[in-house]
């Protein structure tokens, strides 16, 4: 299994001179196919910047980023948009569903954006909804769904383009403990079954046991479980 995402000495610096802030400081990290990685850390530690760079939403100041073994560091904007549509699945904190689209239409939206909405796309959407236990909700609007159901729709939407990597930003933040765990367990299952890579940014330590690896970001630097320096910083 190869690396689906590779950070090579990535730094992100905002501002200049006395106003300069280093959000990420020389980070190197590889995430492989079938691997579910958690990114944890306090507010302001660099987690959001990390996820934005991983999702091709933000360019690094230094270093190189490879997605599915392709260097995307300096791609023009139009090509980066294509990478996001075709290679990356996003799951957001509050599901971010379009309020006036039905559950089935939420999944088909990506096919619309890539110009690939056809009978196959509809079949795929319905298969995903059935697999996620949402077939009876296919024609409902988001307002009729529970928080857990909305996040399951978001998981289905993230899988519609058969992405190489799934990026989840605090996917349990709006859910109680049981529903949050159900959502993460379902996401882990999909990642393993489809041999995808996934990164989940989370504050919820109750979900960390479901992950293959936990990476802590502290002041723009990364530490893995067991690092003595990480422990010292967390105290």
Question: Does domain 35-57+75-234 sit in CATH 3.40.50.300?
Answer: yes
pLDDT (tens place) for every residue of the chain, 235 residues total: 578 899 999 999 998 877 888 899 999 999 999 999 999 988 888 888 999 999 999 999 999 999 988 999 989 988 998 889 889 998 887 667 888 999 999 999 878 877 777 788 888 899 889 888 888 999 999 899 988 888 888 888 888 888 899 999 888 877 788 888 888 888 898 899 989 999 999 888 888 899 999 999 998 898 876 553 444 444 4
- Please tell me the pTM assigned to this model: 0.85
Q: Angle at the Cα of 130 (from 125 to 133), degrees rounded to 5?
A: 125
For strands 21-32 and 3-14, give the pairing.
antiparallel
Q: Which residue has the tokens 């239409």?
A: 105
Question: What's the CA dihedral at 198, 66, 55, 155 to 10 degrees?
Answer: -30
Cα–Cα distance measured from residue 222 to residue 26, given in angstroms and rounded to the nearest whole number: 9
For residue 172, give every residue at least 6 positions away whose Cβ sits within 8 Å of its Cβ, in sequence order, or none.
151, 179, 180, 181, 183, 184, 202, 204, 207
């Amino acid at each position: 299994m190869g690396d689906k995402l590779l950070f090579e000495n990535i730094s992100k610096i905002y501002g200049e001179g006395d106003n300069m802030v280093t959000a990420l400081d020389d980070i190197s990290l590889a995430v492989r196919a079938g691997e579910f990685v958690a990114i944890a850390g306090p507010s302001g530690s660099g987690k959001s910047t990390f996820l934005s760079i991983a999702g091709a939403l933000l360019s690094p100041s230094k270093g190189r980023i490879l997605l599915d073994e392709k260097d995307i560091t300096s791609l023009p904007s139009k090509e980066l948009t294509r990478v996001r549509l075709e290679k990356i699945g996003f799951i957001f904190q509050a599901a971010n569903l379009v309020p006036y689209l039905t559950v089935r239409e939420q999944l088909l939206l990506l096919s619309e954006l890539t110009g690939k909405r056809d009978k196959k796309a509809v079949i795929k959407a319905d298969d995903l909804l059935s697999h996620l236990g949402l077939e009876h909700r296919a024609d409902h609007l988001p307002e009729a769904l529970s928080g857990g159901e909305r996040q399951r729709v978001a998981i289905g939407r993230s899988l519609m383009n058969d992405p190489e990597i799934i990026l989840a930003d605090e996917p349990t933040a709006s859910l109680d403990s049981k529903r949050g765990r159900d959502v993460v367990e379902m996401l882990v299952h999909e990642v393993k079954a489809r041999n995808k890579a996934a990164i989940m940014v989370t504050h919820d330590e109750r979900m960390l046991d479901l992950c293959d690896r936990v990476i802590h970001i502290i002041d723009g630097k990364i530490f893995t479980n067991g690092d003595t320096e990480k422990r010292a910083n967390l105290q």
